[in-house]
Chains A and B, each alone.
Chain A
Amino acid sequence: MKTLLSITALFLVLPGSQTPPQPQRPAPLTAAECKCSIEITVKRHGSGAPLSDVGIVATYTPPVIPSPDGVFRPGTPSPVTLNATTDDSGHVTFSNLAEGSYSIRSQREGFFGSVTEAFPSTQALASVSVGPAPPNRDSRINSLQVNAAIRGGVDAANIVPQPVQHVTIEMIPGAVISGRLQDANHRPAAGIAVIPFQVRYQYGRRTLQQTATQVQTDDLGQFRLYWFAPGEYYVRTMIPAAQAARGDGPNFPSPTYFPGTLDVARATPIVVHEGEEYNSANFELQTVKGVRISGTVINTLPAPVVARGTATRAINSYFLVPRSTGITEPPIVITNPVTAGGGRGVTPDTTTFPFEFRGVPAGTYDFYPIFNSAGPSFGNRGSAFTGHVVIETGTENVNGVQAIIQPGVDLKVHVSIAGTPPAVPANRVAQPIALSSIRIQFRPVDNLPSQLTQGITQAISPDNDGNFTLTNLPEARFFAASIYLPLEAYVSEMRQGYRSIMDDTTFIIGKETPDPLEIVVSRNGETLSGTVQDSQRKSLQGRRVFLIPDAPRRRNLLLYKIASSNARGEFSMNGVAPGSYKLFAWENIPQGAEQNEEFLSRYDALGIRVMVNAGTPITNIQVLSIP
């Protein structure tokens, strides 16, 4: 593809070519004929120092050759890969190359190609074309130097082929966090896992995700987290399972956040920039009076059908999910040291499973014991079942908790199409919307263990009548996360029973069979177009523009639209539902932050208000990019 464009660019450069008469393009020069070369220099971003030991991979894609009948057929040789490593001056040269387009990837542990908040890239990318120099070229074009884009790792603009290309690549050095961990008696805490987390937005919720490798403290309590992407990190400890199982009594060490708190809301994130070391991440393991939670799980569902051995109703895993208002933390998987069966072991008839969790810090938890089963009584599919209970702990033990494993409920969903098909030109056929081409994805509002939501979080398509059923849903709240619709269609209504849930698409699943969901898709959504500019009124390429509905529908993700501006700064959106919106374009936004109310509230005044009415496309909107 790129090569095609570069060939076209070649034609455009030739002066006097108006309507190219499509001369027969000669076959690309072989290595012996072209003797082209690429000289690469890799530098450290910031200081510009040369980087040695960088692995470079150059992949050569043979150019597309038009055959005599004008039809393009792909080149027959397979892509060729060349490897090398930069020397002490950061140089690598690939010589005796055939004419064509080469993609360059550079990689070295501890360095990154780009560090935008979404996904730091461990590789820096560049794209180069080599070939015979075109005649009559401008001397400016003759001495092109290509610098790989650092932000976003985007391939550099297509280049006019040269026989010798020089490429400079910059790589961003990773950061280090080191420190010392002590226990409550000011003695070194050895063998404790230290984990780096970052805040990520997931469907509007701020969650903690582990984004770099964890390490263990040594006998002096020291730890060193190294070579991760610069950014903002929460550092937290984890208690080894063996110690957790023994945890009881007044001094149970709990997962602790730097600078020494059990509460993530009071934790201090550590900001490290590229190549920087933060070496005073010293803190003390906090202890709690860990309490015990004990009770029984009753499971009367059928045991799974297994090929070998006997299956029992034993509970497969236990989760305690802390209820959070701020940042969502990962759920705790708890081991249950108590065995069922009164010491005789679990038999296929056992239905009562006592449990006891030790060392649980005070708080409110959603308790999910999970039982996995499969077999004919479950339609021969594997499923996860739970018995959800809310547990509040304070300073005293909690006894006698009872959780009953129950099958989930089924939710029927029906999708229908409203509105007349759009007018089409005479020589085309009206395309009906095939219901089965629609794809919807739901997610839980609450922080459920992922095993309980596997069936629901995949994209679901209705059958030709627009029906589908979500089976075995646990007791929780859910919302519609995304929908794939043909271009001009939009969701105009969503109901559970008779209640409209268009404000936030949230529906509740309880223990009883829920009211069915109705989703109405309408045609003739509106179009929106405009340009993205900076404060100097210059058009900006590659900016993402977000169309976000106003209150009360701000939480309805199905109404959101995202578009990217092209080389002229233009963007367009289709299938917009009528209503009131704001348009935003950020220079840099954490992935998914646009779905978070608190994030949006900071920028609300900077959005462009747009009223979308049916039948009125909106054009020439100028959106100012927010830095």
Chain B
Amino acid sequence: MKKTFFSVAILALAVSVKLGTSQTAPTVAQNAVGVIQGTITRAGTPEPIPGVTVQLNTAQAARSAGITPNQAVLDTTTDEMGHFEFRNLVPGPYQLRYQLDGYFPASEEIKSNVALDSFVGYAGGFRGAGRGGVQMLALVLDVKQPVALGIPMIPGGVISGRVSDSNGRPIVSGQVSAMVLTFADGQRMLGNIKSAMTNDRGEYRLFGLEPGKYYVRTEYRRPSPSGISQDTFRAYFPGVQTANDASTVSVRGGSESSGTNITIRPAITVKVSGTVTLPPSLTPPEAPVTGRGALPVPLVGAASAAAFYLQPMDAVGIRDDSVVLSNSVTGIADRAAGKFEIRNVVPGRYDLYTMVRTNPDNAQERHVGHAAIIVGNQDLDGINIAISPGVDLRARVTSKDPAAVFQAPTQWTLQIRSAIPPGLLQLTSTGARGAQANDGWRIFPALPEGQFVLDSPLASLRDAYVADIRQGDKSIYETGTVVVGSGNAEDVEVILARPAATITGTVQNAAGKAAARSSVVLIPNGDRRHNPMLYKRATSGTEGNFSLGALAPGDYKLFAWEALPNGAELNADFLKQYEERGIPVAIDAGMQLKTVVPLIPDENK
């Protein structure tokens, strides 16, 4: 055994140094004569695609043959004929991945002379995150015959055009982004897939895009002579201010949507000005007014209110990113007095937010101020933004049943229900100190007034379930909304109980075959739909099997999606289209349920 291993090792070293375009697996055994080879072409044509990265994961096969390979993953690239091959393989299961920027898996069948299972993995948080989708194939290699594959790929599409103002003058060095609908905190938002800059003629070109529907957005800066203002302006194709009013562009594989021009219409913009005031408890001991001249270096206090966030009050449909405008007041003394002026504000109703720092030693310590403003066609003055000292919110997990085993979560997060821009707040909890720590409390410091919802993985819950969530002496189990007042926030307790219920089952597609790697989600009915802690998620395995545990009693619907955009299950509009395809489930404490869930297929295929 040792001798064989030794000679195998020597040979393996020799083999790994040899050069060549095809990879040799550094395993040598009597039956190591398997070959996996293939050709990658443009879908629907015989045209080869060179330069595709192809990777073969040999770990599983090596393990079942009892060999330790030098390299578990072999890689190569397709040559001029679109051809690749891997030689000297032992029989066993293999995983093949292939990828090229600007190319995407095709819905055409992959041609193969052996049985194979394929699925598409995506990098990034949502589909088509700017990289060619990585299609993965699982193969079982039969040594008697080489595996031959014919793999089609779709070339990405192109969106191109020009950004100009209504006088036809080009917008130069503006950023243009191709964006897709996605979800965050249950709200529809746009996620950025690819960006490009406009050149001196205002032209841009976004290429290698996965086929689908896109929103095209541009962000640019107006020339600012003083160099202090960093205001960016935004417009969506064909030249509107908000995503809701925007038109989409359909991209097909290998085609170009040219003439996607964005014309910036001159919008009336006004100035909004006023003062930022700090409560006595937050005013720093001495205002740091130093130096002469225009450019401030404020660290703390009212002078640190540099960025102002505008959140439209009447946001429906797609939520845009907040508009961030910078404070154009530059005199040190004025900034120390809290004076602010923001320019380029489009008329509308807004929640206006800003943030100050109060601790020169800790940049994380921030406090938020808010004012509701109605901006018309005239400059608006005299706005007072009162910074609130903020309120600490405490949260912890307790249990009705002392036998319920759980691990107090180390990290809680808050989602924001009201309109506060997330960038301003610290939304992860910190540990409490002293006796509070011993009682398991976690703290969210200095929260401004608003509505929030708690999310905690509570990952190690097995036999227990979330039975109630209370804030103060009220139950907030139904919607999960945590209220933070202007002066105080009552403590939140998540109360566990036993016994928990479980659901196991399989996901099947329309043909009755097991559907692997689908997203299974259990969603509560009624008002409880607003409480993210009651949602349960799993991904089906290779046999289509899944299991969900730690379930609370109640009425639910069970769904399985082939391709679920991240966070979409929390959005009511999204769910409306699929409501009838979920399976109603009634759960009692301690119940063990088995079921079959029909797959909701991917519509974009």
Contacts and interface: CB of A to CB of B under 8 A. Distances in A.
Interface of A: 53-57, 78-79, 81, 83-85, 107-110, 176, 185, 190-191, 218-219, 222, 224, 226-227, 246, 248-249, 292, 343, 397
Contacts of A292: 19
B225 interface: yes
B392 interface: no
A85 B223 contact: yes
Interface residues of B, number: 26
Nearest to A85: B225
B173 A109 contact: yes
B158 A219 contact: yes
A428 B329 CA distance: 54
A79 B294 contact: yes
A57 B199 contact: no
A219 B102 contact: yes
Contacts of A248: 19
Shortest beta-carbon contacts, A-B, top 6 = A55-B225, A219-B207, A78-B292, A226-B200, A83-B225, A83-B226
Contacts of A54: 223, 225
A107 B225 CA distance: 7
A54 B53 CA distance: 49
Nearest to B167: A88
Given A54-B225, A55-B225, A219-B158, 14 more contacts: A54-B223, A55-B223, A55-B226, A57-B225, A78-B292, A78-B293, A110-B172, A190-B208, A219-B102, A224-B199, A227-B172, A227-B200, A246-B53, A246-B77
Interface in B174-212: 196, 199-200, 205, 207-208
B207 A79 contact: no
19 contacts: A54-B223, A55-B227, A56-B225, A78-B292, A81-B226, A81-B330, A109-B173, A110-B200, A190-B102, A190-B208, A218-B196, A219-B102, A219-B158, A224-B199, A227-B200, A246-B53, A249-B21, A343-B70, A397-B19
Contacts of A246: 53, 77
Contacts of A227: 172, 200
B80 interface: yes
Nearest to B228: A83
A185 B50 CA distance: 11
A518 B361 CA distance: 49
A110 B201 CA distance: 12
Contacts of B292: 78-79
B407 interface: no
B224 interface: yes
A185 B80 contact: yes
B101 interface: yes
B276 to A, nearest CB: 23
Nearest to B229: A83
A226 B172 CA distance: 10
Contacts of B19: 248, 292, 397
Nearest to B330: A81
A81 B205 contact: no
A84 B223 CA distance: 11
A302 B21 CA distance: 40
Contacts of B207: 190, 218-219
A55 B226 CA distance: 7
B145 to A, nearest CB: 28
Interface in B151-184: 158, 172-173
Contacts of A108: 223
A109 B172 contact: yes
Contacts of A109: 172-173, 223
User: Which among B173, B196, B199, B208 has the greatest number of chain A C-beta atoms within 10 A?
Assistant: B199
Contacts of A219: 102, 158, 205, 207-208
Contacts of A110: 172, 200
Interface string B215-234: 00000000111110000000
Nearest to B70: A343
Contacts of A57: 225-226
A222 B201 CA distance: 14
B254 to A, nearest CB: 11
Contacts of A85: 223, 225
Given A219-B102, A246-B77, A176 B200 contact: yes
A397 to B, nearest CB: 8
Interface in B285-326: 292-294
Nearest to A107: B225
A359 to B, nearest CB: 13
Contacts of B53: 246
A79 B199 CA distance: 37
B71 to A, nearest CB: 9
A56 B225 CA distance: 6
User: Which among B172, B200, B208, B330 has the greatest number of chain A C-beta atoms within 10 A?
Assistant: B200
Interface in B435-482: none
A191 B293 contact: no
A227 B202 CA distance: 13
A616 to B, nearest CB: 51
Contacts of B172: 109-110, 227
Contacts of B224: 55
Interface in B89-110: 101-102
A185 B227 CA distance: 46
Nearest to A227: B200
B292 to A, nearest CB: 4
A458 to B, nearest CB: 27
Contacts of B196: 218
B523 to A, nearest CB: 41
A153 B19 CA distance: 59
A509 B407 CA distance: 63
A56 B226 CA distance: 8
B200 A53 contact: no
B330 to A, nearest CB: 8
Contacts of B200: 110, 176, 224, 226-227
Interface in B326-347: 330
A176 B158 CA distance: 24
Interface string B138-150: 0000000000000
Contacts of B70: 343
A292 B19 CA distance: 10
A226 B200 CA distance: 7
Interface in B225-259: 225-227
Nearest to B207: A219
A54 B222 CA distance: 11
B25 to A, nearest CB: 16
Contacts of A78: 292-294
A343 B68 CA distance: 12
Contacts of B158: 219
A53 B208 CA distance: 35
Contacts of A176: 200
Nearest to A249: B21
Given A78-B292, A81-B294, A176-B200, A218 B223 contact: no
Given A110-B172, A190-B207, A79 B293 contact: yes
A185 B48 CA distance: 13
A88 to B, nearest CB: 9
A185 B292 CA distance: 62
A343 B72 CA distance: 11
A120 to B, nearest CB: 17
A397 B17 CA distance: 12
Contacts of B102: 190, 219
Contacts of B101: 191
A53 B223 contact: yes
Contacts of B227: 55
Interface in B4-36: 19, 21
A486 to B, nearest CB: 34
A55 B158 CA distance: 36
A226 B202 CA distance: 12
A249 B78 CA distance: 13
Nearest to B225: A55
B132 to A, nearest CB: 12
B264 to A, nearest CB: 14
